[in-house]
Structure 1
Amino acid sequence: MTNFTGNFSDVVVLAHEIGHAYHSYCLRNEKMINTDYPSPIAETASIFCETIVNNALLSILPRDQGLSILEKSISDMGYYIVDFYARYNFEIKLFERRKSGQLSVEELNELMINCMTEAYGDSIDYKTIHPYMWMNKVGYFMAGDEFLNFPYSFGVLFSKGLYAEYIKKGEEFVSQYNDFLSASSKNNIFDIAKTIDIDVHSIDFWENALNLIQNDIEEFIKRS
C-alpha cells in the first residue's frame, strides 16, 4: 500500500484490511456464489483483527505510547456505538416523518440535534452539535444502503464479544472462529453463532463485549 508510512494509524488500517482478507481466506474453498456475506458480519473479522493488534502492541509498548493507542481505540468505540446510534435514530425518525411530506432544512437540523443530544446525553454540550451533520454523511444519500451505520456498530460489539470468548477459551477458540468465518456466507448470524456456543440474544454476550471497552477506559485512566 503506497500510503503506508508505518505510523500507528496506518498499522490499524492495515490490521483492519487484513481481517477482511483473512475472512476471504476462510472462504477459499467455497464456490463463488457462497463467498458473499452481509455487512454486519463483514465488519466482524476486520475489527477482531484490530483488537488483536491493539492488545499485542499494548503488551510491548512503553506506558506513554500505549496511552495513545488506548485513546484512539476508546474514541473509535464511542464513534461506532454512540455516534452511530444517533445516526440510526435520525434515519428512523426521518423515514417516519417523510411519510407526511418533505422536510425543510430547519426541520432536518432540528432532528439531527435532537438525535445527537439523545445519544450523547450530558456528555457533551448540545450547543456544540453541528446541525448539518446530515449533509456530510454520504450513507444518508445512498438509496438501497439505508442504515449503513448499523453494520459497523454491530461489527464492533460482536467482534468484542468474540474476543471475550477468545480470552475465556484460549487456543480452543481459534478453530471455532475459523469455522464461524467459513460458514458466514451460507447461514444467518444467529445460526452461525450457535455453532460456537454463542447466543446473540443473550444479554451476557453483549455485556461481555462492553466490558472489554470498559476495561480499556479503566486502563486509560490508570495510565493517564
Structure 2
Amino acid sequence: MHPQVDEYFVKLKQWHDELQELRSLLLDTELVEEYKWRAPCYTLDGKNVVILASFKEACMISFFKGTLLKDPKGLLQKPGENTQAARVVRFSSVAEVLKQKSSIKKLIQEAIAVEKSGEKVAKTTEAEPVPEELHAAFQQHPALEKAFEALTPGRQRAYLMHFAAAKQSKTRTARIEACTERILDGKGLHDCTCGLSKRMPGCDGSHKSLA
C-alpha cells in the first residue's frame, strides 16, 4: 500500500467505496501500487498495467493494454474515439463493482499475463488528414510549415485533431491562427508556455497564478 494512495482515498469525496473495492482486488495481486498522475496506478516491473480514476459521472478501472485483453462479457470500453491501447470499465455504484468482481479479477490477471509476455499494442501508422485551411496557412507562411514539420509526430497529430474537430471552415482557420505562435515556438498544443509548470513539458495550470 502506497502512502500517497492512502492520502488520495482520505481526500476522495466521490466514488470512495467503489474505488476501494477495486483497490482491494489490485492489492491482492503481484502488482505494485504507486501514485502517478494524481491517481492510484498499479505496475509490474515498473511497467504501467492498471490505473484507477474518479470522474464526476463515474469511476473507472483502466487497463493500459486493454485492447489486447479477451473480453467475453463485453465490459471493456474505449475511453476516447482516438484511443488505441487503453480500455476501461466504468462503475457508478458499489453494487456494480461487486456484480462484476469475478470478471474484473480475470481481466486484471490477464493484464498481468500480457505484460509478462512482452506483447505490445500495434499502433496505427495512418496519418491524420491535414485540413485545407492548414495547407493554405502553410502557403502563406512557409515558416509555419517548417516549424510544424519539426514537431514530434504526437504533437502534430494533436494539432491536426484539434483543427479538424471544428465543423466550420472559419472556426478551423481561427484555431490555426490561435495556435500559430505556439507552433512557431516549437510547442505542442498542451505544452507549457509560461515556464511555471511543475509537469514539464505539459501545462498543469500554473499560468493561472499570473492572472
Query: TM-score scaled to structure 2, two decimals?
Result: 0.23
Structure with the largest fraction of helix: 1
Structure with the largest fraction of strand:
2
Higher relative CO (Cα under 8 Å, sequence separation at least 6) belongs to: 1
